[in-house]
Copies of this chain bind each other. A is one copy, B any other.
């Protein structure tokens, strides 16, 4: 690592969101910062990438008040931003690789099953697959007036720890912070992803032309009572840290299918 680490920053709420500004402010104290972030909100985009239309990329002055920051905004998704940074911006301009990739701070929780739909975490996972140490940060507060100040010291501590000790190969961290309350944050827990799901309700309405349309709404159902989960940690006012790796294989099911399936012996 050179004197100043190179830190790539992205998010899914868009380059003008309060959460990414918080993250860039903290990172600019630690290293040289490259921002490649979507030019519009991408929440709920999961791991979408843009393959049927071209991408646009412009240098941005959103962070011109901060030292050590170069920023680009992109017409694509969070996963696109990471690919663009690695295979385009950093190749063309610097021929460098980032020492750390951080995404967020997401406006709202990305605990448990929410990681599946999360653009914030898709950027972090994309970066981990590319071989970089990567962290997605989320604040469990959906409010417009959400306070990000109280988490700055913790973001810095986690980033410095990862810069120091690295992460196991292919692993990204999913870090969630409790919403600000009168109770101070109790500490930090390394957790597993809770098994939970969304119970959906479609709100059916009729447009002025008599056509029906539906809004997706839902509530979160946690069916996992484990005290080693991210949901439990957040509920107890701890910061949750889940190490994530992109392997969906249900390894335990391989032997079951090999034993049960007659068609394998047909």
Which A residues form the contact surface with B (CB < 8 A)? 41, 43-52, 54-57, 79-80, 83-84, 86-88, 113, 115-117, 122, 125, 129-130, 157-158, 161, 165, 167-168, 170-171, 174, 187-188, 190-193, 195, 197, 200-202, 204-205, 211-216, 241-254, 256-258, 260-264, 266
Contacts and interface: CB of A to CB of B under 8 A. Distances in A.
B216 A129 contact: no
A116 to B, nearest CB: 5
Given A46-B46, A168-B252, A202-B87, A54 B197 contact: no
Q: Of A83, A244, A250, A253, which is in contact with the most chain B CB atoms at under 10 Å from its CB?
A: A250
A245 B252 CA distance: 10
Nearest to A57: B214
A115 B261 contact: no
This chain's copy number in the assembly: 2
A263 B160 CA distance: 10
Q: Describe A's contact surface by its main secondary structure.
A: mixed
A51 B216 contact: yes
A118 to B, nearest CB: 9
Contact of A214 (B48, B55, B191, B205): B55
Interface centre among A165, A170, A257 (most CB of B within 10 A): A257
A251 to B, nearest CB: 7
Max chain B CB contacts within 10 Å: which of A54, A195, A254?
A54
Nearest to A256: B168
A188 to B, nearest CB: 6
B248 A125 contact: yes
A216 B49 contact: yes
Contacts of A43: 51-52
